[in-house]
Structure 1
Amino acid sequence: MPTTPAVVLGAGIAGLLAAAVLARHPQVGEVTVVERDRLEPGPQPRRGLPQGQHAHVLMSSGARIIESLLPGTTDRWLAAGAHRIGLPDGYVMLLPAGWLPRWSSDHFVISCSRGLLDWVVRQEVLALPGVRLLDRTEATGLRGGRGRVTGVRVEDLDHGTGRTLEAGFVVDATGRGSRAPHWLRSLGAPPVAEDVVDSGLRYATRVFRAPAGAAHRFPIVNVQADPGQDRPGQTAALMPVEDGRWLVTLSGTRGGRPSADEREFVGFARGMRHPVVADLIADADPLGPVTVSNSTANRRRRFERLPVWPDGFVVLGDAVASYNPVYGHGMSVAAHGAAALGTALDGHGLRSGLARTVQRRIAATAAAAWDHATGTDVRFPGARGRPPGRAERALWRYQSRLMRTALDRPEVARQLVDVLTLSAPANRLVRPGIALATLLGPRRPAPDGPTFTAAERAMLSET
């Protein structure tokens, strides 16, 4: 069977998973992954991913997709030092409605540095037959016309030389900075509509040496903002990561943002709705400076609405929809997008119309995470985006009562966790049984403080 070469732009999670999908398809020949950064032979941070130094979790729905594409990846993450933490049994989490009770479920997150997460996946993908990497290479434009993309122009950043990579299929996974709208305009397409919701969130992250008694099997500790309060949204997350470290990310929206000043880090955490994270790190040894990022706006490009879409070209991952990272959905959405590409390829092959079908499916995979992130962020003071209408405000009231009900009713909590991990559609939360339980509300008050187990408290007492 004749094959066609493919090019994937971007060697982040979205691009690597797209390359894995393409490499296994019988109609695809060589897959070239083009990456602007120089990729080191280890789990170092990448310059082109500034938010990569902050808290990242890969949710179970995304991890399971990656495992299906690259069997054994979960074991390799764990062998490299990542933690598999149950959700919600491995979380001490203050939700807007109160402290989340802990119980066992089949959901989990992979907790480690973003550098380690990407590095393991990159090793697996680049070991696949027919996959090659061109790093320090930048895509500068598409080849072809309005009806079909036939390749991509690239520049070698070390030597300043340009060339064209011919391809029957091109995937843009270059992230927030994608130039796909501009490239499509140069092929004769109309402008791409874009939605933006920006709460002005800033991230500040510092890594600490975990106390000896709590270096292993410690929960993720998370204090979330309450959008129902008339104050900036501030959050704190403490994640166990590889090498016996705690990665701590603080965030705040306009009017309440953290600074890069190391002297203010613990104090900012102490000003949250609860000081639990500040208490945990007050005497911990810092392992580096505070890293700050402002690249947190929710941005969604509506490629699926273009009247004509070129065959042979797909955009996925953050290049389609990027989210405030505090919700932890970005990597899982990228995995779902790669799965949508694989399903369409298996069903249709590389025939005319495939790319448009894939682009519409990718838009659908982004919708639930987009609604969750933007429906929260737009509520904070100074947020920029389309003002909510009456329907949105009514939905907020329902969601607020549902969240409080979930803290007491296990049947509601299970469905909520399914939706928040992107394992189930959001409409599950308005089914008659869940709606009735929400109407009845909680039966008992939520826990009144952090839900550490006796064993976890003993770990802390040993430090």
Structure 2
Amino acid sequence: MPKPRVAVIIGAGLAGCLAARATRGHVDKVIIVERDKLPSGPYFRKGVPQSRQAHILLEGGQRAIQELVPGAIRAMLQAGAVQLGMPDGFRWFGTAGWLSSEPTGLNAISCTRPLIDWAVQQEVFTDPGVQVFDDTECVGLIMRNNSVAGVRAMRRGSRSAVEFHADFVVDASGSSSRVSEWIGAVTPWALPPKHTSRIAFSYATRFYTRTPAGGNQGIVVQATPESPRFGIMVPVEENRWAVCLGGLEAPPTTVDGFLSYAGTLRSLAIDESISLADPLSSVRGNRPKMGRLLRFDQNRAGVNGLIVLGDALCSTNPIYSLGMSMAAMQARALAYVLVRYGRTADWTARAQKAVLETSKPGWKLASDGDASYLDARGTARLRLQLKQHYFHKLMARSIDDPHLSKVVFEVLSLTSPAHHLFRPRVVVSALKSR
């Protein structure tokens, strides 16, 4: 009898579950190893601290999830997630004023992070070929013939390690991933360079009641370099509003401080809305410090048998709502490589390259966005100033130009590459005098 083909996935969050689905058709069994004790429903858990903040699933991410796990998007909406037009589902106060409400055909899904994870998990975990070990922490890689052949893990409360052997391993354990440490311990010559980007904004979120009379239209108040504070108010399941405020200086996490902060934004739309709503939670703050991208493409040695994706590979400023969608698109890229090449000798290197290439547009959007609010010097400062000036013009013209608005939101929704913003027709339209 031939030996069963096995994949080990580190992490049972969104990225891990999508990676499990992407690989499932090419192995006999998928083993998911999760550090947390998984909850019995769409509830917050310790290992996803960002989950208590507002979350948006972009069009690009939705399309990827729909391909990999067809029932998940429907399950989210049936459970109360809200689909919002981009930008027509929002009152959107951009850098140059209120944006047009002209539909672009693009949508975002707004709900809490636990609901998104739960909807995908319920589809993936019911597969008899998927086995989940929660409350179990990976502590290292198993190597065989210079290739990753599984993981060592510790069950919570146990003093002895357990080994999960596999044909390949996918690390989807999030921003707390120890993959660089593990690679350094077993194949230090294959350690990928790490690019970092300072994160400009801190933020805080509070939940409020949402009444039918209040509708579902979200509100966005963008920051500008002159007024570097922002606000996002989005409808989520169970008739709630998630209100997120942030800026270069962290917003207060006291009730009175949070309310006062809302009154300092460039528009008072959010301040006026929450003054009429009943609070449902305390204020939860988050102060991310650094984004990270592991550049596996800059080390030719590579790590055979290992693929890294999700925040373990590329973590960005959460305010741009890129992380979940990028993870979904990375998992889809992994699936495409498996379909096209199968498990040939170099397939994990091909897969890692494809996943990394999928990550670069989002990384660039977020790192450039943050850099425009931070101190830059020399040519970098000039480049950012020119780009910032162009984007201000682009947003200003988007107010009354539906074509420009569509191009902008296609890029922000990860359905078009960023270079579309610099096509000749777009540039000419953006730089026209109003």
2-side partners of 1:385 and 1:298: how far apart? 20
Which of 402, 405, 408 in structure 2 is aligned with 1:410?
A: 402
Q: CA deviation at 1:351?
A: 1.6
SS at match of 1:371: helix
Q: Give the match for residue 428 of structure 1.
A: 420
Which residue of the other structure, out of 229, 233, 240, is the alignment partner of 1:234? 229
Q: How far does residue 378 in structure 1 lie from its aligned partner after superposition?
A: 1.4
Structure 1 unmatched runs, 5+: 444-463
Residue 255 of structure 2 aligns with which residue?
Answer: 262
Give the C-alpha shift of residue 310 in structure 1.
Answer: 2.1
CA contact (8 A) 2:100 2:398 kept: no
Corresponding residue of 1:459: none
Aligned to 1:249: 244
Q: Secondary structure at the match of 1:238?
A: strand
Cα offsets for 1:185-242 (capped at 9, x unmatched): 112233432222224522211111113412xx41111111113x2x5x2111111111
CA contact (8 A) 1:147 1:308 kept: no
Deviation, 1:261, is 0.8
Question: CA–CA distance in 1 between the matches of 2:208 and 2:378?
Answer: 39
User: Could you tell me which residue of structure 1 aligns to residue 158 of structure 2?
Assistant: 159
Is the 2:200–2:370 contact (alpha carbons within 8 Å) kept by the matching residues of 1? no
Alpha-carbon displacement from aligned partner over 1:250-278 (angstroms, at most 9, x marks no partner): 1122xx22121111111101101111111
- 1:371 is aligned to 364
- d(CA) in 1 for partners of 2:20 and 2:137? 17
* 1:53–1:114 Cα contact (<8 Å) kept: yes
Give me the whole-angstrom Cα distance separating, in 1, the residues matched to 2:91 and 2:389. Answer: 25
- Structure 2 counterpart of 1:220, from 213, 218, 225: 218
Deviation at 1:418, TM superposition (A): 0.9
Indicate the SS of the match to 1:177.
coil
Cα deviation, 1:272-328, whole Å, max 9, x if unaligned, reads: 111111110013111121111113532222122122112211000111111111111
Q: Post-superposition shift, 1:409?
A: 1.4
- After superposing the two structures, state which structure 1 stretch, 37-46 or 352-361, moved more: 352-361
TM-score by length of 2: 0.95
Confirm or deny: 8 A CA contact 2:291 2:317 kept in the other structure: yes
The CA distance in 1 between the partners of 2:416 and 2:167, in whole Å, is 34
Task: Give runs of aligned pairs for residues 46-195 of structure 1, distance below 5 A.
Answer: 46-144=45-143, 147-190=146-189, 191-195=191-195
Q: How does 1:15-26 map to 2 (within 5 A)?
A: 15-25=16-26
Deviations 1:366-396 (A, max 9, x none): 1111111111211225x69998254343333
Moved over 4 A (4+): 383-387
CA contact (8 A) 1:251 1:258 kept: yes
Counterpart residue number, 1:202:
202
Verify the 8 A CA contact 1:199 1:380 in the aligned structure 2: no
**Paired residue type of 2:52:** Q
Contact between 2:53 and 2:244, CA under 8 Å: does it hold in 1? yes
Residue 360 of structure 1, aligned match among 350, 353, 356: 353
Structure-2 residue corresponding to 1:276: 269
1:3 deviates by 4.5
Higher deviation after alignment, 400-409 or 309-318: 400-409
Cα distance in structure 1, aligned partners of 2:147 and 2:282: 48
Q: Please tell me whether the aligned partners of residues 7 and 170 of structure 1 are also in contact (alpha carbons under 8 angstroms).
A: yes
| Deviation at residue 164 of structure 1 after TM alignment | 0.9
Cα distance between partner residues in 2 of 1:269 and 1:321: 31
3-state SS in 2 of match to 1:109? strand
Which residue in the other structure is 1:12 paired with? 13
In 2, are the aligned partners of 1:146 and 1:309 still within 8 Å (CA)? no
What is the SS of the residue equivalent to 2:41?
coil
**What is the distance in 2 between the residues matched to 1:206 and 1:357?**
42
Question: Contact conserved, 1:197 with 1:386, CA < 8 A, in 2?
Answer: no
Q: Gapped runs of 5+ residues in structure 2?
A: none
What is the match of residue 399 of structure 1?
391
- CA distance, structure 2, for counterparts of residue 386 and residue 311 of structure 1: 40
Residue 311 (structure 1) aligned with residue 304 (structure 2): yes
- Asked if the contact 1:23–1:30 (Cα under 8 Å) also holds between the matched residues in 2, the reply is yes
Q: SS of the residue aligned with 2:206?
A: strand
Verify: 1:440 aligned to 2:412, yes or no. no
Contact 2:372 2:384 in 1 (8 A): no
Residue equivalent to 1:455: none
User: d(CA) in 2 for partners of 1:142 and 1:91?
Assistant: 46
Local SS of the residue matching 2:188: coil
Counterpart check, 1:328 vs 2:321? yes
How far 1:2 moved relative to its partner? 6.2
Kindly provide the amino acid, as one letter, of the partner of residue 224 in structure 1: Q
Counterpart amino acid of 1:268? Y
Instruction: Name whichever of 383-392 and 43-52 sits farther off.
Output: 383-392
Residue 132 of structure 2 aligns to a residue in which SS? strand
Inter-CA distance 387–76: structure 2 relative to 1 (3 Å threshold): farther
Q: CA deviation at 1:438?
A: 1.7
| TM-score computed with the length of structure 1 as normaliser | 0.89
Residue 419 (structure 1) aligned with residue 388 (structure 2): no
CA contact (8 A) 2:102 2:402 kept: no
Q: 1:129 to 1:384 in 2, by over 3 A?
A: farther
Q: Which amino acid aligns with 1:203?
A: Y
